[in-house]
Amino acid sequence: MVILGVLVAVGVPAWGATGTAPAVAGAGAAPGGSLMSEWIFPIFDYLVLSLLGLASIAGIALAINAMLNIREIKVAPPNSTEKLRRLIEDREYKELMDFAATDDSFVSRALYAAIRRAHLKYAAMREGLESSVGEQTSEMFRRIEPLNVIGNIGPLLGLMGTVLGMIMSFYALKERGPLVTTADLASGVGTALWHTFFGLLVAIPCLVVYGFYRTKADKIATRAALVAEELLESLRPDPAEEKEEKRKKREKEAVGEGT
């Protein structure tokens, strides 16, 4: 904002000076116009190009990050799922709790959120699993959301450069008057077109990568959630066994009261 204020403070008087200075045939640009053409316009030009360059670098970094992390073998590795299934089948619940608490896979985190609520019955366990699934899915989406932001900002930055190029062309027309040439206008038009091109060049790949990995993240999260629900269902006590345990508990309580 400080830089913008300085440029406006210097540029507005220069712009006004060109309107009052008499045109001299063959004298070239007016002094005020020289300040605008040689300093202020190039500064804004480089500023827009720098922002587009930073956006492209950020987009490449985010795409690489998505490529490395949004993979099924990374999010829900099969070896972790198989170990969870084996521990459940062997009824090694203590080892299951310890492994799920330390493993960073999608399924382990979802299952741990469920089994730590085991004392609150199955409905609370399922609620914990669903909360963890939603949180982890949102976390994957947040990882790639900046690509969508860059994809939407890129054309706006290009549009800023387009407007700058048109201002440069009209300013050259105002500055040179009847002496204006095609070369005087070509610089501004070229700036407008190049900025538009670079804005689209940044935005289109980012939006393509974002759409691809958002779909991929949704598929991976859905499959991992189904696996976690299957494992949780296998932990659900059998109704007949649960009923028998309650009966035995009542009998023990009755014996205790009788004695």
**What's 17-28 look like in SS3?**
HHHHCCCCCCCC
What are 32-61's pLDDT values in tens digits? Answer: 456 777 788 888 889 999 999 999 999 999
CA distance 232 to 242: 16
205 inside domain: yes
Q: What does the pLDDT read at residue 49?
A: 92
Structural domain that includes position 115: 44-238
What are 159-217's pLDDT values in tens digits? Answer: 999 999 998 888 888 877 777 778 778 888 888 999 999 999 999 999 999 999 999 99
**Average pLDDT for 75-91:** 91
Closest CA to 154 of 193, 206, 77: 206
pLDDT band at residue 130 using 50, 70 and 90 as cut-offs: very high
Q: What does the pLDDT read at residue 118?
A: 84
Pick 185 or 99 by higher pLDDT. Answer: 99
20 inside domain: no
7 inside domain: no
CA distance 47 to 238: 67
pLDDT exceeds cutoff 90 at 4: no
The phi-psi region of residue 92 (left if phi > 0; otherwise alpha if psi is between -120 and 50; otherwise beta) is beta
Pick 37 or 66 by higher pLDDT. Answer: 66
90 inside domain: yes
Closest CA to 42 of 7, 77, 92: 7
168 inside domain: yes
215 inside domain: yes
Q: Chain-wide mean pLDDT for the chain?
A: 80
Q: Which of 7-16, 20-29, 218-227, 245-254 has the highest mean pLDDT?
A: 218-227
CA 144 to chain centre: 3
**Average pLDDT for 127-145:** 93
CA distance 150 to 197: 15
In this prediction the pTM is: 0.72
Q: What does the pLDDT read at residue 168?
A: 87
Q: What does the pLDDT read at residue 32?
A: 45
> How many domains would you assign to the chain?
1
233 inside domain: yes
54 inside domain: yes
